[in-house]
Amino acid sequence: MDLDYHALAPELVVAATILVVLTLDVVLSRPRKYWTAFAGVLGLAVAAVPLLTLAFGDGPETRSMLGGAYVVDGFSLVLKAVFIVGGYLVLLMSVSYIESDRYYQGEYYLLMLTSILGSLVMASSRDLITLFVGLELVTGPLFLLAGWRKGSAKSNEASLKFFILGVLSTAILLYGMSFLYGLTGSVTFEGIREAGADLLDSGAFRLAVLFTLVGFGFKVTAVPFHFWAPDTYEGAPTPVTAYLSVGSKAAGFVGLLLLCYKALPSVTEIWGPALWVLAALSMTLGNLTALRQDNVVRMLAYSSIAQGGFILVPFAAAAASNDAAVIQEAASATIVYVIIYAFMNLGAFGVVIAGARRTGSTMIDDWAGMWRYAPRLAVLGAMFFFSLAGIPPLAGWYAKFAMFLSILRPGNAWATTLAVIAAVNAVIALVYYARIAKTMWMDPVPEGATHMAEATGPLSGSLTLALGISAIFVVVAGILPFEFAGVFADLAKVVTTGI
């Protein structure tokens, strides 16, 4: 066993945190259960430390262990950072939400941390088995968390729908993977890459690739594999939804990235057009559908479908060219988008959580005139929503910019067409994002809303912290993309060279 404990440290810390939370949950009496939250948050913070030491300690080198089955390199470090920071923010948002009701706190954090652990595993996986198990580790707890509001019929439904479609997607994914393995004789990405090049013309291989993609398409809510998302997002506890739309979705993209760039770079002809179609469909249908939503969570669900489409665009770009530089740029565009999307979408959900507490509703119309009684929240809301819409100088612009950059680079007609579709969609998206801003800023306060707002009092500290972190990121990264805190600059290079 050639274990590199330094490289494994983040996972180990998270795993240890899970056990600590488990223990605390058993030991602590009910009023003290918030310590589990504290432990979880602290654990994630500690897990970030080895990330930094790995990244900057002796340079971002590639650390491979267990015969190449598990690799820690720039690519995985960046993504792990996203998962840990994103998870950290979700936990912060969860605190008051989970505390405020009779939810099972200890178990909640345990499941959440387990899911985060799964995403860490995925980021380092370099074979189908690890990838698959990691994915299940991400998803399994989420099936349960989606139904965490046990008393709510909506939550039950969310959970069941998510679960049934989830296992369906797992089955399809596995069926595809079985062929991937079967036709190449290898479960490692490297082996698949080497053998796959000769299988380009094999229909069964194509089936294998496409079924595997479909499995991940479920995670990233690509149309038409998205149907579970709106119902689940709406029904699940909002912090869980936030995590679903960010962490779990990012995990899906990690799977796609690994699959497309590490395992199947030689057969772009297979997955490129498929992802082109999924990207176009997701952007267009997601946006069009989001136009008609009255519930802010549901709207964010469709928006997240559309954003998923945007994130898929660079894949199509990579497939449209054989140039290594183009492919690298496409990969980094996806990663950049995922990073920025994580922060802004989490911010948006933070606003939703806070706004729902303020108004007692997630219906957009009930948020009318919010800036009069909750100006800071309204400012933050406008910031995150317009960032999602890609309006400079908020960070979202750079995500879209990088996406456009990648899709235009190949310069062929298909790629350019997709760019135009994306451009039109960017405009459509503005409509519903601006609609929320409009409601919060420009509509009169409905009767009685102010009293309710006064009654609920100020935001909890942890939620404020989460919103603050997201907001600072969204602004700073928008003005100085890639220079934020000077941290990611080097890693970004690794991203582009590591694949």
Partner 1 sequence: MAWFESAGLSLIVFLPAVGALALFAIPKAREDAQKWLALVTTGLTAVLAVAVAANFRYGASEKFQFEVSESWIPAIGARYHVGVDGISLPLLVLSAVVTVLAVIYSWDHWEEPRNVRGFLALMLLLATGMNGTFVALDLVLFFIFFELVLLPMYFMIGIWGDSAKRHIPVLGRTVTMRLYAAIKFFIFTLFGSAFMLLGFLALYFRSGDFLGHNTFDIPTLIALGSQNAFGSGTFAFLVFGAMFLGFAVKVPMWPFHTWLPDAHTAAPTVGSVLLAAILLKLGSYAFLRISIPILPDMAREWAPFIGLLAVIGIIYGSLACLAQTDIKRLIAFSSVGHMGFVMLGIATMTDVGFNASLIGMVAHGLITGLLFFLAGSMHHRYHTREIARLGGNQKLMPWMGGILAFTAMASLGLPGLAGFWGEFMSLLGAYRPLAGLSLSQFQTYMVIGAIGTVLTAGYMLWMLQRVNLGEPKAEWSDHEFHDVEPTEWLAWAPLIVAIVAIGVYPRIVLGATTDAVVNLARNAFGG
Partner 2 sequence: MVLTQFLILGALLFSIGVYGLLSRRNAVTVLLAVELMLAAVNINLIAFEAFWNTAAAHGQIFAIFVITIAAAEVGIGLAIILMVFRNRASGNIDELDLMRW
Partner 3 sequence: MTFSDWIAEPVNWAFLAMAIPMVVAALRVVTSRNVVHAALFLVLALAASAGLFILLSAEFVAWVLVLVYIGAVVVLFLFGIMITRAPIGRETNLSHDTRWPAAAAALGVFAVTFWLINGVTQQIGGFGDPLPAVGRATPTGILGEGFINRYLIPFEAVGFVLLAALIGGITLARKDLTPAEEEEGARV
Where on the chain is the footprint of partner 1 (CB under 8 A)?
332, 372, 382, 386, 391-393, 397-398, 401-402, 404-405, 408-409, 411, 419-420, 423-424, 426-427, 430-431, 434-435, 437-438, 441-442, 480-483, 489, 492
Cα-Cα-Cα-Cα dihedral of 9, 250, 236, 230, to 10°?
-170
Region from 116-124, 218-226, 328-336, 415-423 binding partner 3, contact rule CB under 8 A: 116-124
37 binds partner 3 (CB under 8 A): no
Q: What b/e string do you get for 68-86 counting C-beta neighbours within 10 Å, with b at 16 or more?
A: ebbbbbbbbbbbbbbbbbb
**What does the DSSP 8-state code read for residue 295?**
B
**Residue 247 within binding range of partner 3, rule CB under 8 A:** no
| Comparison of 130 and 334: residue with beta carbon closer to partner 3 | 130
Beta bridge partners of 71: 64
- Residue 58's Cβ-side half-sphere holds a number of Cα atoms within 13 Å equal to 5
Residue 32 or 102 having the CB closest to partner 2: 102
Cα–Cα separations (whole angstroms), residue 62 to 184, 202, 262, 264, 495? 26, 34, 15, 20, 12
Contact region with partner 3 (CB under 8 A), list: 108-116, 369-377, 389-397, 487-495? 108-116
Among residues 145, 223, 333, 382, which is the contact residue for partner 3, using CB under 8 A? Answer: 145
Residue from 57, 59, 67, 458 touching partner 3 (CB under 8 A): that is 67
DSSP string, 415-428: HHHHHHHHHHHHHH
Q: Please give the structure tokens belonging to residue 371.
A: 């800036």
Q: Which is nearer to partner 2, 170 or 450 (CB)?
A: 170
Least separation in angstroms between residue 69's CB and partner 3 is 5
Pairwise CA distance, residues 128 & 281, whole Å = 27
Q: Report if residue 444 touches partner 3, rule: CB under 8 A.
A: no
Between 174 and 475, CB nearer to partner 1: 475
Structure tokens at 368: 């009318």
User: Sign of dihedral through CA atoms 257, 261, 263, 268?
Assistant: positive
State the binding string over 457-486 for partner 3 (x if CB under 8 A, else -): ------------------------------
- C-alpha distance across the termini of the chain, in Å: 26
DSSP for 11-37, please give it: HHHHHHHHHHHHHHHHHS-GGGTHHHH
Query: For partner 2, which is the closer residue by CB, 12 or 144?
Result: 144
Minimum CB separation from partner 2 for residue 422, in Å? 28
What is the spatial distance between Cα 215 and Cα 145, in angstroms, rounded to a whole number?
20
Residue 128 interacts with, from partner 3, partner 1, partner 2, none (CB under 5-8 Å by kind): partner 2
CB of 399 to partner 1, least distance (A): 13
Structure token pair of residue 228: 């579970």
Looking at beta carbons only, is 148 or 349 nearer to partner 3? 148
Q: Which amino acid is at 113?
A: L
Stretch that binds partner 3, among 65-73, 224-232, 270-278, 376-384 (CB under 8 A): 65-73
CB of 149 to partner 2, least distance (A): 10
Pick from 228, 207, 230: nearest CA to 218: 228
Cα-based angle 190, 193, 198 (whole degrees, multiple of 5): 145
Binding site for partner 2 (CB under 8 A): 128-129, 132-133, 136, 140, 143-144, 147, 150-151, 153-154, 156-161, 163-164, 167-168, 170-172, 174-175, 177-179, 181-183, 185-187, 230-231, 234-235
With vertex at residue 137, the alpha carbon angle to CA 131 and CA 140, rounded to the nearest 5 degrees, is 130
Q: Does 164 bind partner 3 (CB under 8 A)?
A: no
Query: Residue 100: how many CB atoms within 10 A of its CB?
Result: 10
Interatomic CA distance for residues 317 and 325, integer angstroms: 11
Site residues, partner 3 (CB under 8 A): 1, 3, 15, 18, 22, 29-30, 66-67, 69-70, 102, 104, 107, 110-111, 114-115, 117-118, 121, 124-125, 129-130, 132-134, 136-137, 140-141, 144-145, 147-148, 150-151, 159, 183, 199, 201-207
